[in-house]
Chains A and B, each alone.
Chain A
Amino acid sequence: MNQRIEFVLNSEKRSVEPRANQTLLEMLRDTLGVKSPKCGCDRGDCGSCTVMIDGRAVRSCLVLAVEVDGHEVKTLEGLMPGGKFSALQKSFLAHNSFQCGFCTPGVIVAVSELLEKNPHPDRNEIKEALSGNLCRCTGYTPIIEAVVAHAGREE
Chain B
Amino acid sequence: MPIINEFAYVKPATVAQALKWLARYKKPAILAGGTDLLNSLKDGSIKPDAVIDIKGLDTLHKISFAGKRLYVGALVTFSELIEAEAVRRLFPVLAETARTIGSPGIRNRATMVGNICSAVPCLDSGPLLLAYDAVVTTVGRGGKREIPIVKWFRGPKKTSLKSGEIVSGVIIPLPEGKHAGCFIKLGRYAGEDLAQASVLAMALEGNRFRVAFGSVAPVPFRAKGIEKLLNGKQLDARLFAEAKKLVAAAIAPITDLRATKEYRAHMCRVMLERSLKAALGRLAGGGPAYGERLL
Contact = CB atoms under 8 A, between A and B. Distances in A.
Interface of A: 1, 3, 19-23, 26, 42-45, 47, 50, 56-59, 61-64, 66-67, 69, 110, 113-114, 127-133
A20 B31 CA distance: 13
19 contacts: A1-B6, A1-B7, A21-B2, A42-B42, A43-B39, A43-B42, A44-B35, A44-B102, A47-B103, A56-B108, A56-B109, A59-B35, A59-B105, A64-B38, A64-B53, A67-B55, A110-B104, A110-B105, A132-B191
A69 B253 CA distance: 44
Given A63-B109, A131-B190, A56 B79 contact: yes
Contacts of B106: 44, 59, 132
Give the 5 A-B CB pairs with smallest separation, nearest first: A132-B103, A131-B191, A21-B3, A20-B9, A56-B108
Contact of A63 (B9, B34, B99): B34
B295 interface: no
Contacts of B4: 21
Given A43-B42, A44-B35, A113 B104 contact: yes
Interface string B1-36: 111111111010000000000000000000100110
A1 B39 contact: no
Nearest to B189: A131
A62 B31 CA distance: 11
A132 B104 contact: yes
Contacts of B7: 1, 20-21
Interface centre among A22, A42, A44 (most CB of B within 10 A): A44
B211 to A, nearest CB: 28
A20 B41 CA distance: 12
